[in-house]
């Protein structure tokens, strides 16, 4: 059974049409349908449409946004992390296309930390992040407080990883990520402001 959707309904009643965009994190089609009916705007599927493909039909019918996340769970993973990303997303996007999802409503999430067991794998994905633009969709970065940041910094407590998260936000922004999922908004917002300022400064012609 889908969970109670009273929280989503309360938010939409309180804020009205000018309120925040609400995303539902689920791989279950029934849960997504209930959340969208209650007023959610985006479906974020952490199984990338592969667990319950009908979730794509739910998103298409509602005209909702759809975040497709990469995962290596429950399948054979290709040795090269970028090749694995492309292979996974090509399958997911076929499911979305067959369901009639408007491609303009799709965002892709490379799934940092999901079935990527070592810091080295996650760092390789960060280092080669720009290659994912070849998929042709906006990219979301969700590194916040992930275990691999604890391995790098020695911070065993997740709540102490916000500075490391902000660093990855800036790095991935420079690599072209445009949506960020974080726990501590302020630190990543500042880091992104610096990254954006640096990118804008590169567009200016030197004087003289």
Quote the pLDDT of residue 1: 44
Distance CA 68, CA 96 (A): 9
Q: Is 124 helix (H, G, I), strand (E, B) or coil?
A: helix
Q: Select from 139, 140, 206, 195 the least CA-distant residue to 166.
A: 195
Asked whether 141 and 172 are in contact (CB, 8 A), the reply is yes
Domain limits for position 13: 6-201
- Does residue 1 belong to any structural domain of this protein? no
Is 208 domain-assigned? Answer: no
- Describe the crossing of helices 81-99 and 119-127 by its angle, rounded to 10 degrees: 70
102 part of a folded domain? yes
Residue 207: inside a domain, yes or no?
Answer: no
pLDDT score, position 7: 87
Q: What is the residue-level pLDDT of the chain in tens, covering all 208 positions? A: 444 567 898 888 888 777 889 999 999 999 999 999 999 999 999 999 999 999 999 999 999 999 999 999 989 999 999 999 999 999 999 999 999 999 999 999 999 999 898 999 999 999 999 999 999 999 999 999 999 999 999 999 999 999 999 999 999 999 999 999 999 999 999 999 999 999 998 765 555 4
Q: How many whole angstroms separate alpha carbon 28 and alpha carbon 75?
A: 19
Structure tokens at 178: 């445009």
Examine residue 110 and state whether it is found in any structural domain, yes or no: yes
3-state secondary structure of 138: coil
> What is the number of domains present in the chain?
1
Q: Look up the CATH number of the domain holding residue 58.
A: 3.20.20.20
Model pTM? Answer: 0.91
């Amino acid at each position: 059974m889908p969970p109670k959707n009273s929280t989503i309904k309360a938010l939409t009643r309180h804020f009205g049409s000018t309120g925040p965009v609400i995303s539902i994190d689920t791989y279950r089609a029934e849960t997504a349908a209930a959340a969208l009916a209650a007023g959610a705007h985006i479906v974020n599927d952490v199984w990338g449409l592969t667990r319950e493909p009908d979730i794509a039909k739910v998103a298409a019918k509602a005209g909702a946004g759809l975040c497709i996340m990469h995962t290596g769970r429950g399948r054979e993973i290709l040795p090269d992390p970028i090749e694995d990303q492309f292979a996974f997303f090509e399958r997911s996007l076929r499911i979305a296309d067959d369901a009639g999802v408007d491609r303009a409503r799709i965002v892709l999430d490379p799934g940092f930390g999901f079935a990527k067991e070592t810091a080295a794998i996650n760092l390789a994905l960060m280092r080669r992040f720009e290659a994912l633009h070849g998929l042709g969709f906006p990219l979301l970065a969700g590194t916040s407080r992930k275990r691999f940041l604890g391995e790098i910094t020695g911070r065993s407590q997740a709540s102490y990883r916000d500075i490391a998260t902000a660093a990855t936000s800036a790095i991935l922004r420079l690599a072209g990520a445009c949506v960020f999922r974080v726990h501590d908004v302020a630190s990543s917002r500042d880091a992104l402001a610096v990254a954006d300022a640096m990118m804008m400064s590169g567009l200016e012609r030197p004087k003289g």
